[in-house]
Copies of this chain bind each other. A is one copy, B any other.
Amino acid sequence: MNLVLLDPAEVDAQGLAVLRDRRALHIRSVLRSEADDTIRVGVVNGASGTARVEEVTSECVALRCDLAQPPPPRPPASLLLALPRPKVMRRLWAQLAAIGVDRIAIVNAARVERNYFDTHVLAPEFRRALLVEGLQQAEATQLPEVSIHRQLKVFVEDLLDPLFPAASRLVADPGAPGGIRRAIRTGRPERVLLAVGPEGGWTPYEIDLLSRHGFTPVSAGPRKLRSDTACIALLALVHDALSG
């Protein structure tokens, strides 16, 4: 935890926040902060800055926040992800928040097992805690917006344009001739929506559906990667290409 993330409602008008949960324990036991120490803090989807530790007791930690840094723009990359195994999805939340994504749309696909959608790993409270963990690691404050779609065709045909109006669309495909960098440096988009398929790959019908809706196939080498490895590797390439 390199930055302690607070909800807007936790900080009063004088900048005081009193924590009694895992964050208090972390400040006390891992950071080993004492009164008058300074730590990094931020507000979910808001500003960041520092806080002076005012009090540390066995029950709470009181912080006086100075949130001088305005929030940066939303990350330029979003992810369209065919739901992987729950174990893999669980690992991904914090990593996606840490590397930086604006929106995460979890979708169904022919090679996704239907019962994956029943997992508690998708539950709003569960995933939010892991996303916050990733933000705290990366010293970021912008919580990715997550939506879950059980019908790929409906999602692509009806929701893609309203949810991702301005993003250049790329779909990861180990067999594609071109790479991410070339696709991004050619079009010079400001925002990118990256689609990552299920572990068994998209079907030809799905690739066709995505292509007809503006997705360009891009490769990151011939190796077939697990969904979590693929997402991180591909998002790193997207961020790098977008930044110049």
Which A residues fall within an 8 A CB radius of B? 2, 91, 94-95, 98-100, 137-140, 179-181, 220-221, 223-226, 228-229, 232-237, 239-240, 243
Asked if residues B240 and A137 are in contact (CB atoms below 8 Å), the reply is no
Distance between A90 CB and nearest chain B CB, rounded to angstroms? 11
User: Which 8 residue pairs are nearest across A and B when measured between Cβ atoms?
Assistant: A233-B236, A138-B223, A232-B232, A95-B229, A236-B236, A2-B224, A98-B225, A232-B233
Of the candidates B91, B221, B225, which one forms a contact with A137 in the assembled complex, judged by CB atoms under 8 Å apart?
B225
Q: Kindly provide the distance from the CB of A91 to the nearest chain B CB, expressed in whole angstroms.
A: 7
Provide 14 A-B residue pairs closer than 8 Å at the C-beta atoms, listed in order of the A residue. A2-B224, A94-B226, A95-B226, A95-B228, A98-B225, A98-B229, A137-B224, A138-B223, A140-B223, A220-B240, A221-B239, A221-B240, A234-B236, A240-B240
Task: Verify A99–B240 contact, CB threshold 8 A.
Answer: no
A179 contacts across to B, CB distance below 8 A = 240, 243
**Chain B residues closer than 8 Å to A181, beta-carbon distance:** 240
Interchain nearest-CB distance for A227 vs B (Å): 11
> What is the CA–CA distance of A99 and B220 in the complex, to the nearest angstrom?
10
Q: Which residue of B lies closest to A94 (CB)?
A: B226
Residues of B within 8 A of A98 (CB): 223, 225-226, 229
Bound complex: CA A220 to CA B235 (Å): 12
Give 9 A-B pairs besides A98-B223, A99-B233, A236-B236 with Cβ atoms closer than 8 angstroms: A95-B225, A95-B226, A95-B229, A98-B229, A99-B223, A220-B236, A220-B240, A232-B233, A233-B235
Closest B residue to A226 by CB, please name it.
Answer: B137
A233 cross-chain contacts in B, Cβ below 8 A = 99, 232-233, 235-236
Q: How far is the CA of A99 from the CA of B225 in the complex (A)?
A: 7
Establish whether residues A240 and B243, one from each chain, have CB atoms under 8 Å apart when the complex forms: no
Known contacts A95-B226, A98-B229, A99-B229; decide if A221 and B243 are in contact (CB<8 Å).
yes
In the bound complex, residues from chain B placing their C-beta under 8 Å from that of A95 are: 225-226, 228-229
Distance (whole angstroms) from the CB of A28 to the closest CB of chain B = 18
What residue of chain B has the Cβ atom nearest to residue A235's Cβ? Answer: B233
Which residue on chain B has the smallest CB distance to residue A243? B221
Residues in chain B near residue A180, CB distance under 8 A: 240
A139 to B: closest C-beta gap in Å: 6
